[in-house]
Every structure is written in C-alpha cells, then in structure tokens.
Amino acid sequence: MVQYQNKDGVWLVRADNPPVNALSKPVREGLLRGLESGEDDASVDIVAIVCDGRSYFAGADVRELEQGLEEPGLLELIQLSESMSKPVITVMQRHAYGGGIVVALACDYRVALPGTRFAMPEVSLGLLPTFGGTQYLPRLVGLPAAAELILGQVVFDETDALRCGLIDRVATADSVIEEVQLLARDLRQNGAGKRSVKNLERDNTTAGATESVLAEYQRCLVDCREPLELPAREASLNLLARSTEPNLEANLKQEHAIFLNLLGSPESATLRRRFFQSRER
C-alpha cells in the first residue's frame, strides 16, 4: 500500500490504496516507516508524501472506525515529521478530505494540482477532526478558514486553499511526481529548511475577529438542521476556541479523548449508518 523510492535525492513515500487512498492502518504504518527511512538515508535531502491514483488521501477508512481506531494515528506522523531534520513536502490532487488535510499539516510545504478540492466532513458523521485537526489547522490558515472547513462544511478549491495558506502554491506541472521535483528544486535553490505548522508564527485573526467567528458559529448551533450533529459541532467549536492557547499538548489529548467519546455515541453511530446506506444505493 505504501512504497518508497529515491528519485534524485527526494525520498518518495507513495501511497496507493484505491479507490480513494483511505488512511487505513496499513497506510498509516507505511507512512511512518517511509518518513523514518527517508530521515535515515544520507543520500536524501527532502522527503515527499504523495498518492498514486486519481486522488490524494480522501479521509479515514470509515469501516475501520466501526471496529475502533487502532494505533498508529496521524498525530504520530505529525510529531515524527516535526522531529526530522529534512523538509517534508506533499503534492495533492483531486480530493484532500478529512485525514488527508491532517497528513498535509504534517508536511513543511504543500502544493496542489489544479482542480483539487479540500474538505473536513467529520461533523457530518458525528465526529470531529482528531490528530490535531482542530488545533494545527487554525495555526496554519487562521480561525475563520478553519471554522469554515470544519463547522461550515465548506469545500475549498485550490484558489481558496492558496488564499488562506493551506497550500503554498498551485502546481504548474502536469503530474504529482513532476511537481515534487519542481518543488524540491526550488527549495534547494532557496535553501529552505524545516517549517512545521507547530512552529509557525502566523496569526491572521485579530482578537475581535476571533470572537466574531466563534459567536457566529455559536449562533449556528441553534439553527442546526441535523440535531445528531450537535455534539460534534459543539465539541469542535469549543476546541477551535482553544486553538489560540499555548497549551497545545493538553488540547491535543483532549481533542482525541472527545473524538473517542463521539465515536462511541449513538448520534455518530446513526450518522455513520446513514453514510453507508447512502453509498450502497
């Protein structure tokens, strides 16, 4: 499901889990091994996470959730990437949904092919974006854009993603691998190194704007069209409100604990059942 290749000093970590490159346990394990191997290879100076097939990672393996989420999670991927000495890059295509965006947050530099779509659909399943989804994403794109994705359920195109900083640029090459090589060339020419989301000092949201965004989505809870989503929406809103706090590690632990509680809730079970039924029609 995940293969590795040294291409001109770029360590390619290539996932292939058709049809939508769901982030199943074997894929998560393969990604971790790939990053470790790239870090240990002295002939490599850049590590790239890419997906074969038509789509980038389009989220979790929802059927795996029914048996209970097993380790490793994606937070381990983020933390491993943060500890590495080499930049980690990614090029996305078609769909980057849910956990796919979390994988992108593990990378230092992010590029997307034209036509890529970005979404965080977890609350529609009665869940929230775990493994840093509610904490890292606002650090990268600001609270308004993070709230749009998570609570507003807005689907971003590549222009939206570029505007908010979710990606660094839109690809100019025709394929993922060609764009990886272009990005690697540019990073080498510019002497660019690590740039983990955790260490970004970017705040494009004033205190007043933060309060306004939170108040807007608090009001939206009253008019929520799907009552079964309310626990996930309330929890996501509360965690987003805490994303500006310096206590990242504690917030990440709470985020995952809440996710597990939601996963076991009757509301989420009903919404997931509806999801499977809709796919079977």
Q: Mind listing the pLDDT tens digit of every residue in the chain (281 residues)?
A: 899 999 999 999 999 999 999 999 999 999 999 999 999 999 999 999 999 999 999 988 877 877 777 889 899 999 999 999 999 999 999 999 999 999 999 999 999 999 999 999 999 999 999 999 999 999 999 999 999 999 999 999 999 999 999 999 999 999 999 999 999 999 999 999 999 998 875 455 555 567 788 888 888 787 778 899 999 999 999 999 988 888 899 999 999 999 999 999 999 999 999 987 776 65
Lookup result for tokens 């494009």: 204
The per-residue pLDDT for 205 is 54
- Tokens standing for 234? 């309330």
Q: How far apart are CA 191 and CA 35, in angstroms?
A: 21
Cα–Cα distance measured from residue 98 to residue 103, given in angstroms and rounded to the nearest whole number? 9
| Contact (Cβ atoms closer than 8 angstroms) between residue 123 and residue 233 | yes
Which residue bears the tokens 């060339």? 185
**Cβ partners under 8 Å of residue 7, min gap 6:** 177, 180, 181
pLDDT at 208: 57
* CATH code 3.90.226.10 for 2-199: yes
The angle subtended at Cα 6 by Cα 60 and Cα 167, nearest 5°, is 45
Q: CB neighbours of 10 closer than 8 A, spacing ≥ 6?
A: 44, 45, 46, 47, 48, 180, 181, 184
Considering the entire predicted model, what is its pTM? 0.92
H/E segment holding residue 15: strand 10-15
Q: How confident is the model at residue 83, as a pLDDT?
A: 95
Output phi, psi for 5, to 5 deg: -155, 135
Write down the pLDDT at residue 64. 83
The residue ranges of every structural domain in the chain are 2-199
Q: What angle do CA 158, 88, 118 make, to 5 degrees?
A: 25
